[in-house]
A = this chain, B = another copy of it.
């Protein structure tokens, strides 16, 4: 499968339990908004905070609401034993691909992360996307590790953190040399998407698209059409949102937006995570209006 524009919805809570109905509503918006795939239980989907039963329920709800659209399921956890259980569960629930982050408490070594992916690769019968997100996992892949992991069976691609401005083309070209020709290189960090997608990235793993699929679609389409100016213009329009993402974390901003839109119950995040309080919330709503998102 090609993730293309892969949208990551929240996994909203209601009274500290997964709100399956609200998740299904969010996923239905993504189908209607024309994304290419749905990324359930990503970082935005608070994967790491959920029990086995909650994860199963979330994937069931997403797969059902997604219909023909492929669903990529996050299966990250601290312990390999648990990751392998979630791999089985996600496959049984109809996930088309898996997203695996090297979640850490004790900071992981390169060899440990290789071992994690080797264990997952030998258990998975669907494609596996390697998920690098140093801001949540405190782990940075070396090029050598990327190359080794990419040789494993089932490994279909990588989800890279946002390259620094001006560096995406070099980074993607370098990864292109490291990785097998059919490996998908996808970017996360929405503010870097315009540059990355016009620099050879195949996929956009997007938090913004999880709530505002049409806006993300327009940016991705401009990039796919080779219109870099238009892609960057779409992105510049969203600068107030990118600023908030960098300040508060995209999860909290999207949670506040979903609550403001009435799409989810408030609070929609699992404690100890808190939505932005009344001090910051007006800034989010103001940015949503200024960027035309609401």
Contact = CB atoms under 8 A, between A and B. Distances in A.
Contact of A80 (B102, B251, B271, B277): B271
Contacts of A103: 105
* Chain A, interface residues (CB within 8 Å), range: 20 to 34
A106 B273 CA distance: 8
B79 A274 contact: no
Nearest to A77: B49
Interface stretch (A109-117, A178-186, A192-200, A284-292): A109-117
Given A102-B272, A136-B106, A79 B49 contact: yes
Contact of A112 (B80, B105, B115, B274): B274
Nearest to A114: B272
Would you call the interface of chain A mostly helix, strand, loop, or mixed? loop
Nearest to A109: B274
Contacts of A277: 111
Interface of A: 16, 43, 46, 48-49, 78-81, 102-103, 105-109, 111-113, 115-116, 119, 135-138, 249, 251, 270-274, 277
B271 A48 contact: no
A21 to B, nearest CB: 20
A38 B270 CA distance: 32
Contact of A106 (B115, B116, B251): B251
A79 B270 contact: yes
A89 to B, nearest CB: 15
A105 B274 contact: no
